[in-house]
């Protein structure tokens, strides 16, 4: 397996949870408690989608996203209970290396993160910023 280093590519975006969007998401995904203010972990992934697309269209991103990207695997981790009343800072960051798979395809990691701005959780150490 060949490994290559990638350039630092990251964006951050502060945001509040839109409660109507959260209700719609819970209804669409048949969430058990649609009226609660608890946030399902996959909601953060859905909220970060536009940020991910912005990262993948930056000139420094090493792969063309048109016809060339496939999501092979994903891992989600929610480190604590998340509530709709909090403000979050979303971050999307390209991993530091690209790996060549046995089939000759490129494989890399895209890290998504949502941290509470209200609870004083630190943001990503480096970012390019996003308006």
Query: What domains are defined for the chain?
Result: 3-116 (3.10.129)
Taking alpha carbons only, the member of 13, 20, 17 closest to residue 112 is 13
Beta strands in 7-86 (DSSP E): 10-16
- The percentage of the chain sitting over the pLDDT mark of 70, rounded to a whole number, equals 79
The string of DSSP letters for 75-98 reads -----S--BTTSEEEEEEEEEEEE
Identify the pLDDT of residue 6: 59
- Determine contact, residues 128/57, Cβ cutoff 8 Å: no
Rounded Cα–Cα distance for residues 30 and 14 (Å): 27
Position 124 pLDDT exceeds 50: no
- In angstroms, the Cα distances linking 73 to 1, 91, 108, 109, 110 are 18, 19, 11, 10, 11
- The percentage of the chain sitting over the pLDDT mark of 90, rounded to a whole number, equals 0
pTM: 0.69
- Determine contact, residues 97/3, Cβ cutoff 8 Å: yes
Rounded Cα–Cα distance for residues 78 and 76 (Å): 7
- Give SS3 for 71: coil
Identify the pLDDT of residue 112: 83
Identify the pLDDT of residue 34: 62
Identify the pLDDT of residue 107: 79
Position 24 pLDDT exceeds 80: yes
Rounded Cα–Cα distance for residues 29 and 42 (Å): 10
């Amino acid at each position: 397996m060949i490994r290559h280093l990638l350039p630092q590519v990251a964006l951050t975006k502060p945001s509040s949870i839109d409660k109507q969007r959260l209700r719609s998401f819970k209804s669409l995904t048949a969430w058990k408690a649609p009226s609660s203010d608890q946030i399902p972990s996959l909601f953060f992934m859905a909220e970060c989608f536009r940020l991910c697309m912005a990262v993948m269209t930056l000139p420094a991103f090493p792969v063309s996203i048109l016809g060339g990207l496939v999501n092979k695997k994903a891992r989600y981790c929610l480190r604590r209970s998340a509530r709709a009343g909090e403000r979050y800072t979303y971050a999307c960051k390209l991993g530091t290396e690209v790996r060549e798979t046995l089939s000759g395809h490129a494989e890399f990691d895209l890290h998504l993160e949502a941290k509470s701005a209200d609870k004083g959780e630190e943001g990503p150490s480096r970012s390019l910023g996003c308006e």
